[in-house]
Amino acid sequence: MSLAFLTPLFLAGVGLLVAPWIIHHIRRPEREPMRFSSLMFIPDVQKEVIERRRLQHILLMLLRMLMLALLAFAFARPILKSAAAIVPFEDRARHVILIDNSYSMGTLDWLDRAKVEALDILATVGTDAAVGVVAFAERPVVLSAVDSAADATTTSLERARTAINGIESTQETTEFLPAMQRAQEMLLQTAEEENVSLTVHIISDFQKAGMPRRADGWKLSPRVQFNPVEIGESAAPNVSIQDLGITVDSQGRLRLRAKIKNWVDATTRACAVALITGDETAESKSVDVPPGNAARVMFELPVEDTRQLFGWLQLDDDALNVDNRRYFAWSAPPKVPTLILSELQQETRWPGAWLIQKALPTGADASWTVERCGQSDLPAKLSAPNPPRLIIAAGLNGLTNDTAQQLLDFVESGGKLLLALGADLEPDAANRLLLNALGVTSDGLMYEDISAYRYSVLEWVDLDHPIFIPFRGAQFNNFTQIKFFNHHTLRITDDTRATPLSRFGSERAIESPPAMTETTFGEGRAIVWSFGTDLIWTDLPKSPRFVPLLHETLAHLADLNDVRTVWTVGNNVNNDTSVAVSGELQPDATNAPAKWSDDGRFTQAGLVTWTNDATPDRVEAVNVDSHESDGTRISTGEFELRMCAAPDLRRVAGVARTSEEAELLQTDEGKEFGHFLIVALLLSLLLETAYTRYLSQ
């Protein structure tokens, strides 16, 4: 057993021990004052006096020196070491080689160099080693298992060599965590014995974008050794198209705006950007992109009478070509026939139905065709050749049994309803005619009369619901400033069909009453607002949140949010709700078709077409994830620190192949006891304080 220090540089603090000795030595001795008569008649005589000074309070000085010594030794982190027993390994070791084949590895010849490094590892592991090969990008793919006992015709090294030579680059992004977890799982499943050497080799460009977005606590087992191999240079020249947005201006022209990013900090790049539609170059522009920065480029196309327009933007070739192309597909927005059901309210200056109608756009790019009618015209509207798919019921003065039944039949047959309960709808009539069938009940109005100084506010909003997703940011998620001067006190009676989306703060009710409730009835859905939208009941229409909230509510009811036009390589179409109504997936007829695997995951960027007998074909774009273009790297040391647990040093010593290597790897088990010195330092400080007070008395 021996004593060692983890941070021995702090032992230099021992030199400070001389400070208490110096302070106590130069301190003048204490003298008692002596009373004497006047010195007026005594002449001044200059006389040199040599005074011997003796150390005072030696015990106090020693205490202070002890405190400094304890402080220096504690920071030096002393450790008692004892010889550690080395765990011997069997001759047959097990290895997993992880090879990054994300699209950033397609830079220059990086993937070929990664294969050479993997083959070099095979040449050093020994003929008896069992080796597995995993290619990984967004997800790991096992190409060769560690122990394939079923295949006796080839050795493990031969299978690994064949797998390495067959690896090809993908268009997916890098995800290190699933690959590391899969490698550890493969090793631990095939090595139940304790005395088996386990090693993970990872060959990658170590992009920082591939690290886990959030720390989940997982780290590579200390039983598994880790060997990183870095490929390529971080300063490889690369310019990419980062994003592409499409809008329609007031003249009906299609505007394509793209961001071109120069990832190299050295020079400004002059890039030629080509717009390609219908397999032909429609327009080309040149843009200068500053080093490490981005520039914008815009194209304009006439929409004319076409309902769809698709193509891609193309950059000149560079070191990484995969991100030089960005696909787009635009379809004219679907027009949802929408009916505002409301009676005219002559006595109200700004009725709620009028405010709702003014909040809905009616332009060429609007998603709704809006009409307004009273209860008497509702049967004719529902039986028209193009009946409404969405009804907004607001301002229902004198709701009749026939109108209520027509609304329920409309929802039950698959229609969508937004019901705003205002002052014009009595609670008893609302319950009997509509609300009870929808799974909610009104217990009456919150206030008997309306006062500008008494109001309710929203205390809870379900920000995970689709209609509130745009309000998730800290700047928009505060709804407490909206005042509700009166509202219906709703209560959910059937929680299997009705779900609250927001709640009021209430001191009168045991449970806060819901402000917005989503409910199902038959094949349709309804969202019930327990408040009217006129300015007498609420100032919500004055709030900047009113228009986006109304639009998101209607888009959710009409299923407009489920229609996707842009996919990313790696997305699984089988997990998307819009696929159920989109029809059969076919490659586009252009020379840029996307590809997907048997399990429905997109594997190559391009254009796809959804075919459906009931609706026109719809073209959609599939692009690579632009985050992979960022060449910022993480060092192998930081990667190991974040992804790997501290290694078992006894096993590291056991894996040495030569006697000299084993001697270098020999280590000791140690126990740090610096914290005990900290405790002793605190006790010494208390003792020094007490002794100083004693001397002062």
Q: Please give the tally of structural domains in the chain.
A: 5
Please check the confidence at residue 235 and state whether its pLDDT lies above 70: no
Give the pLDDT of residue 334: 73
- Summarised one tens digit per residue, pLDDT across range 146-159 is 876 556 678 889 99
Centre a 10 Å sphere on the Cβ of residue 71 and count the other Cβ atoms it contains: 18
Same domain, 540 and 426: yes
pLDDT band at 658 (very low <50, low <70, confident <90, very high): very low
Same domain, 256 and 188: no
**Alpha-carbon separation of residue 569 from 171, 179, 235, 593 (angstroms):** 7, 18, 25, 13
Query: What is the C-alpha separation between 651 and 93, in angstroms, rounded?
Result: 12
Region 552-574 average pLDDT: 80
Whether 665 maps to a domain, the answer reads no
Question: For residues 561 and 619, which has the higher predicted lDDT (pLDDT)?
Answer: 619
Nearest to 399 by CA among 407, 388, 390, 410: 407
Same domain, 502 and 396: yes
Q: Is 271 helix (H, G, I), strand (E, B) or coil?
A: strand
Q: Which of 306, 326, 346 is the last residue of a domain?
A: 326
Whether 148 maps to a domain, the answer reads yes
Please check the confidence at residue 575 and state whether its pLDDT lies above 80: no
Domain residues for the domain of 313 are 242-326
Q: Which CATH number does the domain housing residue 191 bear?
A: 3.40.50.410
Same domain, 365 and 508: yes
Q: Where are the alpha helices (DSSP H) in 383-534?
A: 401-412, 427-430, 436-438
**Token pair listed for 100:** 């990054």
Give the pLDDT of residue 224: 92
- Summarised one tens digit per residue, pLDDT across range 280-291 is 899 999 999 999
Q: E strand or H helix at 694, and its extent?
A: helix 674-696
Contact 330, 308 (CB under 8 A): yes
pLDDT band at 497 (very low <50, low <70, confident <90, very high): very high
Same domain, 270 and 351: no
Burial tier of 624 (Cβ tally within 10 Å: 0-12, 13-18, 19+): buried
Same domain, 155 and 181: yes
Same domain, 608 and 692: no
User: What are the two backbone dihedrals, phi and then psi, of residue 270, each rounded to the nearest 5 degrees?
Assistant: -95, 115
Please check the confidence at residue 217 and state whether its pLDDT lies above 70: yes
Whether 514 maps to a domain, the answer reads yes
Same domain, 394 and 532: yes
Residues 6+ apart with CB under 8 A from 565: 329, 330, 331, 620, 621
**Beta sheet of 584-587, edge-to-edge order:** 566-568, 618-623, 606-611, 584-587
Question: For residues 457 and 84, which has the higher predicted lDDT (pLDDT)?
Answer: 457
Q: Which CATH number does the domain housing residue 306 bear?
A: 2.60.40.10
pLDDT band at 20 (very low <50, low <70, confident <90, very high): confident
Please check the confidence at residue 502 and state whether its pLDDT lies above 70: yes
Q: How many CA atoms within 13 Å lie on the side-chain side of 225?
A: 16
Q: Is 616 helix (H, G, I), strand (E, B) or coil?
A: coil
Amino acid at 203: I
Same domain, 170 and 295: no
What letter does residue 456 receive in the DSSP assignment?
A: B
Q: Which of 507, 527, 561 is the last residue of a domain?
A: 561
Give the pLDDT of residue 72: 87
Q: E strand or H helix at 50, and its extent?
A: none
Give the pLDDT of residue 243: 87
Region 578-601 average pLDDT: 63
Whether 662 maps to a domain, the answer reads no
Same domain, 567 and 534: no
Same domain, 496 and 355: yes
Residue whose tokens read 């070791």: 93
Q: Which CATH number does the domain housing residue 504 bear?
A: 3.40.50.880
Same domain, 70 and 176: no
